[in-house]
Structure 1
């Protein structure tokens, strides 16, 4: 457990007291616009001067439908995550401080197979019963939930039907319905209809009127405002669901618009809940995905509960050197802030200490705590989701194909392997079928791009490792964990090379004649941003400097790591043209890949990549009833310089070590302090 304390001063304008009534998602009228009415409660000025109130804010974030501590891929219990374990911490946190508010910060209903099973049910399922994830939050008596980006993965109808069962307030201040297609998409304040005239997708904010007990046992009315935000990138990542229907605003703009309204409506304390992480910009770009650092500088915010990056704050080393960030105390530009990881592996707690000032209350002190799981669990969570969990397990056991080789992605950044290859082959077949149907230009070569997903990002056991034998639906979801949809982009030869150059950022620049072992992988690029392209051959040479930075901006036009780029044996020219089958995340700008911002997209399909993969694997099962033994297609090569001494971290399991032994250039060294295996890569 990490606990930090610091003084936090905030001057609040005089406020009137109101209570904002709860509304459901997509309320027909903007009930969040309320008239201010004076309260019959005595103002803080009338209470004794020694009055102090402790208010505890409790946060979960990025649960991704992990209600249970259960790995649906390995089909084993796991006490390192799951809301059933976090709920035990919630109970303790509430018992310690009865003045509390429990808030979830989004990416709630997508991720674990249980969420996928619900989304796969007939449309009347949610009309007859509450979504099991929402039912769990109801059972735990959550107060507020903010929308995240993955809430939109299954479409607006599904989202509205899901949130209709919520017994808590659902908020988001920067997403609205569009009255016309012209008023949809990314909007600036003053562009199109006024924001106050738009119909909100959820309540922009809520003001919770609570009777809080002070240190002397006396009760006082405190109005707690909670405002939520989500990444504007939903318009790219979920364009097929949201195009022409939804408008999004920049998070900072929305905060500056609504926070004065909240103050005028009587909010004593304002809590910002951005589904966004921390990122430093030389010049803040509107509609930034990671805007929490900038939100902290908006006047009126007393505390921040953030998420989206799946990290711990305070404490994660990624945040050590950010200006204005106290990564020990848990403050961003002086505002107490917390981010409690993902999948419920931590609980975030901020204690605010309030004293009266004029007709309002001010924060005079605060304490930030990140609580790790203790091994306890709340049995009621398992009871709530028991039926859905059992149905999910049955659903996942659907047999598809007898695979005569194991599928493992432990070394997916070192060379070609079968898990990404299967996805690419499925996408290639799908693209060629579309071309035969006349839905794509007939004269352009079709390529495919795919990346490894479960590749160590959430711990040393978080790799795809499927033993030879029966392949099931669970294995397909293991290989492709996101509900991304098929999109196809048209790119030139130079754009294709830039695509691979951006992927090659995953490597550190390796020394030609190293004096000691150095890490091959940078650790700053997620595995899902390492695209492998099928249908061409190429080499990656990481001893050269990277061509692009993390934002896809050119570092130096002479920098290259991609060489010998060929199609059917011929070097690819700058003006050659290709069609590349990829997913909506990449085609719409996910990962900041150059040239991939939606403008090069020529086809947007209704099919999820997982469904395309499922169809492909099913066809293989029919084609090879006695078993299928694929061979690895060696279409790309990692070229290390002579004299290089490099290592990578990967799984440390027996299957990972076995995979290493089968490679001529990978040698197991041992485990590191985090439980990952360390492997030497030989040039």
Structure 2
């Protein structure tokens, strides 16, 4: 079960709101009465990832765990509690769910005559403004702009610009050329004070996107877009917003919370640093799929109050992902001789429940039906179960299928002369669904009919396939970075030790076509940021191709995705400079084409044979612990794997496992 909690206390609504129906001109403020004040409610959604409905596309069943239809019930409730409100979305909106995939498949031509279904939903809920997230760029600029054209509210982003534009002399003078969308917007709203009188309040909203979009979506953005550092953009534009009359300024960074010994410009996580920029009154952040206040990830950060929701004294909120929470910041503004001043603020995140908005569901009914039709297109019959249940501790069939498909595609490119035909082909894939978002967040596709919907389960992101050329030495460093997935094990310690480190599963690349072993008793060679910290340490050993030790100068072609090839994950040697082929084919499409080809040659059957090409080196007498899927399928794997046992369940519903040497399938 997902843990839902609420933090903070909502500002008490002044009884005088009942007077809001009065004619403001007839409202008399008694002499010697307190100065007028206004309670303003700011609401945030973030990282919705196209989950508009409470629907699990992996299992094709309704769910109360996420979905904007459930968040909508909280939005309606929060608005009823305070009519002085602003609703903002913080990006990563149009990519993620199968409905987002369906809309992207329709292309720009579809959007010339229709509104993107996600925009239909936000228009219905009357959002006031929205910020660009990094995933808005996944389908290219044409699709993004065609999508935004359907929005009945403004989009902002202060640090992304057209590459070819010159310094401007107009409204955004001094900026780095022409912005893709306005850097900020100043909303004019008539809000009601405690006496029932209306006041025109100017609410400034400024957005920011991770500069890393230039690597993650290089195939769409190179030569077309350039970015600024988020903090530098804030320092430039916020004084301008104040000069234009903004009474309050809301910063909306699609960025997480992280501290640094010294802030590196163009950092991905910059919300903490933005809180230090003068003139910001509230921060709505996201990107990390965490709750603030509340997530343990934000405990013990300096000047961060993870109970009340303040970052360096600034009220801030981050409401999770997929619409599982609504973020709220309540501000009390008091009228002074110097204008409206914030005299109090409180923060909370509200968890969704069984309630939902049926009108929103009806609004997207036709798109939902089309999405399910797309998902249920059969690709063949899968002979055996495909899963990622133990993908971070042993070879797994889900990664094997991805790597088989990518290898097949690259060998086709070799056959047609698009890339060198004389180099060995390897392939890299990661277990995207490996428990990061709950105990059932694992790829699990049972034997039987294999459909396009299964590809959503297998490969979460709309990455495109790319090919890089790497030396044997570079391949080893790639794997060394992947080996950060494991903690350092003490071979002399008899007490149980945690095996898995805090390392995203989508960065645990398994490379097929070679064999190797990982020794977790050695110190990690790199930090998660890609900094070499232990030059003498090597966790990756016995690295071989076709049974022979790989030479440092030996050359390989490696199939991977655009995120990794462009530098995503900070892997050494992967910064775009080793790219030899950039395909516009999504990896999911490559897998679908591979499945169709294989089934056509095998009487409709799709067979996946898991190659045991890598293993963990586990010292004898050492007990390693990790948590994983509690599914029946996982227990069947346990029964057939020597050294792997189930020891219970934790409070979040994950199964707890023990791993000992030897690790060999019975």
Q: State TM-score, norm by structure 1.
A: 0.91
Could you list the per-position Cα deviations for residues 596-650 of structure 1 after superposition, in whole angstroms to 9, with x for gaps in the alignment? 1112222211111111111111111101115233321011011111121112111
Could you list the per-position Cα deviations for residues 376-418 of structure 1 after superposition, in whole angstroms to 9, with x for gaps in the alignment? 1111110111100011001111111211100111100111111
Q: In the alignment, does 2:331 pair up with 1:352? A: yes
- Per the alignment, residue 176 of structure 1 pairs with 161
Structure 1 vs Structure 2 CA RMSD: 2.1
Q: In the alignment, does 2:126 pair up with 1:148? A: no
- Per the alignment, residue 325 of structure 1 pairs with 304
- Per the alignment, residue 629 of structure 1 pairs with 607
Q: In the alignment, does 2:202 pair up with 1:223? A: yes
Following the alignment from structure 2 to structure 1, what is the Cα–Cα distance between the partners of residues 638 and 121? 42
- Per the alignment, residue 590 of structure 1 pairs with 568
Q: In the alignment, does 2:103 pair up with 1:126? A: no
Residues 671 and 197 of structure 1: CA distance in aligned 2, closer, same or farther (over 3 Å):
closer
Following the alignment from structure 1 to structure 2, what is the Cα–Cα distance between the partners of residues 545 and 473? 41
Give yes or no for contact 1:6–1:329 (8 Å, CA) kept in 2. no
Out of 569, 577, 601, the residue aligned to residue 599 of structure 1 is: 577
| 1:75 CA displacement | 0.7
- Per the alignment, residue 627 of structure 2 pairs with 649
Residues 99 and 626 of structure 1: CA distance in aligned 2, closer, same or farther (over 3 Å):
closer
Could you list the per-position Cα deviations for residues 292-325 of structure 1 after superposition, in whole angstroms to 9, with x for gaps in the alignment? 1111111100000000000111111111122221
Q: In the alignment, does 2:6 pair up with 1:2? A: yes
Give yes or no for contact 2:595–2:606 (8 Å, CA) kept in 1. no
The answer for unaligned runs of 5 or more in structure 2 is 12-28, 662-666
- Per the alignment, residue 273 of structure 2 pairs with 294
- Per the alignment, residue 110 of structure 1 pairs with 95
Secondary structure of the structure 1 residue equivalent to 2:590: helix
Residues 444 and 47 of structure 1: CA distance in aligned 2, closer, same or farther (over 3 Å):
farther
Could you list the per-position Cα deviations for residues 453-499 of structure 1 after superposition, in whole angstroms to 9, with x for gaps in the alignment? 11111111111111101100011221111111111112222211111
Residues 386 and 495 of structure 1: CA distance in aligned 2, closer, same or farther (over 3 Å):
same
Q: In the alignment, does 2:638 pair up with 1:660? A: yes
Give yes or no for contact 1:513–1:642 (8 Å, CA) kept in 2. no
| 1:92 CA displacement | 1.0
Q: In the alignment, does 2:330 pair up with 1:390? A: no
- Per the alignment, residue 20 of structure 1 pairs with none
Equivalent positions of 1:156-555 (< 5 A) are 156-179=141-164, 195-196=174-175, 198-522=177-501, 524-555=502-533
- Per the alignment, residue 38 of structure 1 pairs with none
Could you list the per-position Cα deviations for residues 24-76 of structure 1 after superposition, in whole angstroms to 9, with x for gaps in the alignment? xxxxxxxxxxxxxxxxxxxx9x9965322111110000000000111111111
Give yes or no for contact 1:144–1:170 (8 Å, CA) kept in 2. yes
Following the alignment from structure 2 to structure 1, what is the Cα–Cα distance between the partners of residues 174 and 658? 56
Q: In the alignment, does 2:124 pair up with 1:139? A: yes
Q: In the alignment, does 2:36 pair up with 1:54? A: no
Following the alignment from structure 1 to structure 2, what is the Cα–Cα distance between the partners of residues 355 and 566? 70
Secondary structure of the structure 1 residue equivalent to 2:315: strand
Out of 618, 625, 628, the residue aligned to residue 640 of structure 1 is: 618
| 1:6 CA displacement | 12
The answer for unaligned runs of 5 or more in structure 1 is 8-43
Secondary structure of the structure 1 residue equivalent to 2:328: strand
Secondary structure of the structure 2 residue equivalent to 1:421: helix
| 1:448 CA displacement | 0.8
Following the alignment from structure 1 to structure 2, what is the Cα–Cα distance between the partners of residues 601 and 626? 35
Following the alignment from structure 2 to structure 1, what is the Cα–Cα distance between the partners of residues 7 and 345? 11
| 1:195 CA displacement | 4.6
- Per the alignment, residue 75 of structure 1 pairs with 60
Residues 628 and 612 of structure 1: CA distance in aligned 2, closer, same or farther (over 3 Å):
closer
Q: In the alignment, does 2:546 pair up with 1:568? A: yes
Following the alignment from structure 2 to structure 1, what is the Cα–Cα distance between the partners of residues 176 and 513? 50
Residues 179 and 619 of structure 1: CA distance in aligned 2, closer, same or farther (over 3 Å):
same
Secondary structure of the structure 2 residue equivalent to 1:366: strand
Give yes or no for contact 1:6–1:365 (8 Å, CA) kept in 2. no
Secondary structure of the structure 2 residue equivalent to 1:91: helix
Give yes or no for contact 1:6–1:366 (8 Å, CA) kept in 2. no
Secondary structure of the structure 1 residue equivalent to 2:106: coil
Residues 122 and 502 of structure 1: CA distance in aligned 2, closer, same or farther (over 3 Å):
closer
- Per the alignment, residue 589 of structure 2 pairs with 611
Following the alignment from structure 1 to structure 2, what is the Cα–Cα distance between the partners of residues 276 and 586? 20
- Per the alignment, residue 559 of structure 1 pairs with 537
Give yes or no for contact 1:402–1:625 (8 Å, CA) kept in 2. no
Give yes or no for contact 2:112–2:146 (8 Å, CA) kept in 1. yes
| Residues 76-85 or 648-657, more deviating | 648-657
Secondary structure of the structure 2 residue equivalent to 1:3: coil
Following the alignment from structure 1 to structure 2, what is the Cα–Cα distance between the partners of residues 68 and 661? 38
Following the alignment from structure 1 to structure 2, what is the Cα–Cα distance between the partners of residues 195 and 664? 65
Following the alignment from structure 2 to structure 1, what is the Cα–Cα distance between the partners of residues 540 and 54? 42
Give yes or no for contact 2:108–2:146 (8 Å, CA) kept in 1. no
Could you list the per-position Cα deviations for residues 578-599 of structure 1 after superposition, in whole angstroms to 9, with x for gaps in the alignment? 2211111011111111111112
- Per the alignment, residue 72 of structure 2 pairs with 87
Following the alignment from structure 1 to structure 2, what is the Cα–Cα distance between the partners of residues 195 and 486? 38
Following the alignment from structure 2 to structure 1, what is the Cα–Cα distance between the partners of residues 371 and 575? 36
Following the alignment from structure 1 to structure 2, what is the Cα–Cα distance between the partners of residues 101 and 205? 15
| 1:442 CA displacement | 3.0
Following the alignment from structure 1 to structure 2, what is the Cα–Cα distance between the partners of residues 676 and 380? 35
